[in-house]
């Protein structure tokens, strides 16, 4: 039995870049594949949007195993962006999502500025795509493998390239890395470059050593840390960016496990949130969290999710 959101008097719908969405709860890229598997557990059209796993220009095998290590209240992953490549993705995954009537935000990743542009071009005029999330936490092969998201110039170039090549009606979200000194600085740079919104945050770079072998546990040595362990970092990043950029739409994410966790992000300034790693623990998490947010708002006598967005920035009454 698929889980649907419970009926509630709370208005959970949001106006999201000229789209009316039934819920501010999205999946997070890399934690929901392309929606099909999760649709066995929840009705994926009932959530705000499916954010698909980052797709690259070419098919990609990903890294060798081990790709994962469990950590306190979290996990470290180094999948290496395994995926079918953009053509196959459009033909199969996106076609399936469209046929279901899901709202899709396509996450894209590239090895170079040009590659990001090419993928964006392929997604032009494809129906059902309500946004492009640009995963800039990839190493730039043309710049000594430096991660795009950690350098304002590289991040800017990527966003320019995606913006230039994609349809003007599809909003572009830059997904930011918390592994920087001043995330608001990077946020401003990508918004100036044309990003319509921001996804905050990507995983934190981490490492686990296997003490049996005294070597890094992941085949890629380092990996991305996710899960509830990173939540306070994520809330802080959303808050700082909201302070710096009062108007820009933010999708908040990082270790959201419950409705109460989600509420922290909305109050910090997120207009929508993505549920990532916790989907591995609870395949119904997106719908459950939607219901839990409704209950909390009800308890606090709010009528709409919009009543709590940015609340942490308002002066105490």
Partner 1 sequence: MPIVHQGVVVDNKKIGSYYVITATAADMPKEFKPGNFVAVAIGDERSSLILRRAFSIYQVNDRGVYGGTVDIVVSPHGPGTDYLANLKRNDPINLVGPLGKPFSLPKNPVPCVLVGGGYGAAPLFTLAEALAKRNCRVDFILGASSSEKLFGMLEARRLSTTLTVTTDDGSSGQMGKVTDVLPEVINKSNAAVVYACGPMKMLEAVSKVATLHGIVSQTSVEESMACGIGVCMTCVLPVIGEDGVTRMLRSCVDGPNFRGDKVRWSEVGTVPVDTYGAPKIGDH
Which of 114, 282, 295, 307 is in the footprint of partner 1 by CB under 8 A?
282
Counting beta carbons within 10 angstroms of the beta carbon of residue 98, is it exposed (0 to 12), middle (13 to 18) or buried (19 or more)?
middle
The window from 55-63, 89-97, 164-172, 239-247 that contacts partner 1 (CB under 8 A) reads 55-63
Q: How far apart are the first and last CA of the chain?
A: 45
Which residues have a Cβ under 8 Å from the Cβ of 113 and sit 6 or more positions away? 140, 142, 154, 157, 158, 161
Distance CA 278, CA 266 (A): 18
Residue (33 or 207) nearer to partner 1, CB:
33
Query: Which H helix or E strand runs over 87?
Result: helix 86-88
H helix count then E strand count, the chain: 9, 18
Between 79 and 159, name the residue whose CB sits nearer to partner 1. 79
Q: Does 227 bind partner 1 (CB under 8 A)?
A: yes
The yes or no reply on residue 283 touching partner 1 (CB under 8 A) is yes
Residues with catalytic function: 138
Asked if 74 is part of the footprint of partner 1 (rule: CB under 8 A), the reply reads yes
46 interacts with partner 1 by CB under 8 A: no
Asked if 22 touches partner 1 (CB under 8 A), the answer is no
Quick one: which of 7, 9, 20, 40 contacts partner 1 (CB under 8 A)? 40
Structure tokens at 238: 């959303």
Read off the tokens for 215: 């070597």
Q: Residue 85 or 194: which CB sits closer to partner 1?
A: 85
Looking at residue 245, the DSSP 8-state letter turns out to be -
Q: How far is the CB of 13 from partner 1 (least distance, A)?
A: 26
Strands 197-200 and 172-176: parallel
Residues contacting residue 299 through CB under 8 Å, at least 6 positions apart: none
Smallest distance, Å, CB 170 to partner 1?
25
The count of chain residues that interact with partner 1, using the rule CB under 8 A, is 49
Residue from the set 15, 70, 87, 210 that interacts with partner 1 by CB under 8 A: 70
Q: Give the sign of the dihedral formed by CA 221, CA 175, CA 136, CA 150.
A: negative
Nearer to partner 1, 170 or 230 (CB): 230
Interaction site with partner 1 (CB under 8 A): 1, 3, 30-33, 37-38, 40-41, 53, 58-68, 70, 72-75, 77, 79-80, 82-83, 85, 111, 141, 219-220, 227-228, 257-258, 277-284
């Amino acid at each position: 039995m698929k889980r649907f959101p419970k009926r509630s008097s709370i208005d959970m719908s949001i106006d999201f870049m000229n789209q009316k969405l039934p819920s501010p709860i999205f999946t997070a890229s890399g934690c929901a594949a392309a929606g099909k598997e999760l649709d066995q557990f929840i009705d994926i059209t009932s959530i705000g949007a499916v954010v698909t796993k980052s797709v690259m220009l070419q098919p990609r095998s990903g890294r060798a195993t081990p790709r994962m290590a469990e950590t306190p209240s979290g996990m470290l992953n180094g999948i290496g962006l395994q995926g079918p490549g953009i053509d196959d993705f459009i033909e199969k995954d996106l076609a399936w999502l469209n046929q279901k009537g899901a709202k899709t935000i396509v996450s894209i990743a590239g090895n170079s500025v040009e590659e990001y542009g090419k993928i964006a071009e392929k997604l032009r005029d494809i129906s059902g795509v309500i946004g492009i999330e640009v995963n800039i936490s990839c190493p730039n092969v043309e710049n000594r493998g430096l991660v795009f998201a950690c350098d304002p110039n590289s991040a800017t170039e990527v966003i320019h390239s995606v913006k230039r090549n994609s349809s003007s009606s599809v909003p572009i979200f830059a997904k930011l890395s918390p592994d920087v000194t001043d995330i608001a600085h990077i946020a401003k740079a990508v918004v100036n470059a044309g990003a319509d919104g921001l996804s905050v945050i990507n995983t934190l770079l981490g490492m686990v050593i296997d003490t049996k072998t005294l070597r890094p546990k992941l085949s890629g040595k380092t990996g991305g840390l996710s899960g509830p362990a990173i939540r306070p970092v994520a809330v802080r990043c959303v808050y700082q960016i909201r302070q710096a950029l009062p108007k820009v739409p933010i999708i908040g994410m990082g270790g959201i496990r419950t409705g109460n966790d989600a509420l922290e992000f909305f109050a910090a300034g997120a207009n929508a949130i993505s549920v990532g790693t916790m989907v591995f623990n609870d395949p119904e998490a997106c719908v459950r969290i939607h219901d839990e947010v409704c209950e909390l708002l009800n308890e606090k006598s709010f009528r709409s999710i919009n009543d709590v967005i940015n609340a942490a920035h308002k002066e105490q009454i």
